[in-house]
Amino acid sequence: MEDEVVLLDFWPSSFAMRVKIALGEKGIKYKCKQEDLFNKSPLLLEMNPIHKKIPVLIHNGKPISESLIILQYIDQVWNHKSPLLPSCPYQRSQALFWADYIDKKIYGIGRRVWMGKEDQEEAKEELMQCLKTLERELGDKLYFGGQNIGVVDVALVPFTTWFYSYETCGNFSIEAGCPKLVAWAKRCKENYRSVSEALPHPLQIYEYVMELKKRLGLV
């Protein structure tokens, strides 16, 4: 019996993009269902009653929530190719540490940057500090995963499609502060179809951000 894989998605979400990259890397066929986060479907509310958030992966009717957990689930079930996590326990712990770091920092700080309220300057500084820390961690490696992309690359690269929005709303340049990180993002998109197909164009994200800001009364 063929697997039934459904992804509850919201196209601008960096968290959902992570899952799309992983599914693409593993060559998994899936149905993508767009959610309206201002009018959540009964399916979403049933599949993720605790947080009511996307992404949710539904595999043969069973839901898995939280993007990093979904990535690990995908990696464990479809382990025939493109491993996302290192096989060595110590390296795995380091990968999970950095994925957790990205989760704790980038979304929240980035949001404060594009919202453009009183704490924007502080948020810009914090964002650059985090990205510089990540750039240092990347070092001279091609990818955070080494020769190939791994869970840390997949966790971070979707946020790079939001960089243009952060920069434009905050009037600063991320590339000027983190050239190696921006080069890494380009490399991921050029060398991995799963990445280039999962990430919307930065201008599309910017258009969405401006609409959202209008909706929130911030412009």
Partner 1 sequence: MRFNALESMSFFTSNNTNVNRGSTRKSTNLPTMAVVKLFGTWLSPYVYRVIWALKLKGISYEYIEEDLSNKSPLLLQYNPIHKKIPVLLHDGKPICESTVILRYIDEIWPQNPLLPADPYDRAVALFWIKFADDKSPLLSKLYRTEGEEQQAVVKEWLEMLEAMEEHALIEGKKFFGGDEINMVDIAFCMVAYWLGLIEDFAGLKIFEPHKFPRVSAWIQNFKSVPVIKDNLPDTDKMFALMKHRREMLLTSKSN
**Interface ranges with partner 1 (CB under 8 A):** 49-50, 59, 62, 64-66, 69-70, 72-73, 76-77, 89-90, 92-94, 96-97, 100-101, 133
Based on CB atoms, which residue is closest to partner 1, 16 or 199?
A: 16
Q: How far is the CB of 89 from partner 1 (least distance, A)?
A: 4
SS3 of residue 7 by DSSP: strand
Cβ-based neighbour number of residue 116 at 10 Å: 15
Work out how close the CB of 108 gets to partner 1 at its nearest, in angstroms, rounded to a whole number.
Answer: 12
Residue number, 76 or 196, with CB nearest to partner 1:
76
Q: Give least dist CB 9 to partner 1, A.
A: 18
Q: Is the dihedral of CA 82, 12, 4, 196 positive or negative?
A: negative
| 97 vs 191 by CB, closer to partner 1 | 97
Nearer to partner 1, 17 or 68 (CB): 68
Q: How far is the CB of 65 from partner 1 (least distance, A)?
A: 6
CA angle at 44 for the pair 39 and 49, rounded to the nearest 5°? 110
- CB of 111 vs partner 1, minimal distance in Å: 16
Rounded to whole angstroms, how far apart are CA atoms 6 and 13? 16
Task: Specify the residue, 120 or 133, whose C-beta has the smaller distance to partner 1.
Answer: 133
Helix (H) or strand (E) holding 56: strand 56-59
Burial 88-101 (b: 16+ CB within 10 A, else e): eeeeeeebbebbeb
Other beta carbons less than 10 A from residue 23's beta carbon: 22
CB 185 within 8 A of CB 129: no
Residue whose CB is less far from partner 1, 6 or 195: 6
DSSP annotation of 33 reads E
**Cβ–Cβ < 8 Å for 150, 137:** no
Least spacing, CB of residue 128 vs partner 1, in Å: 16
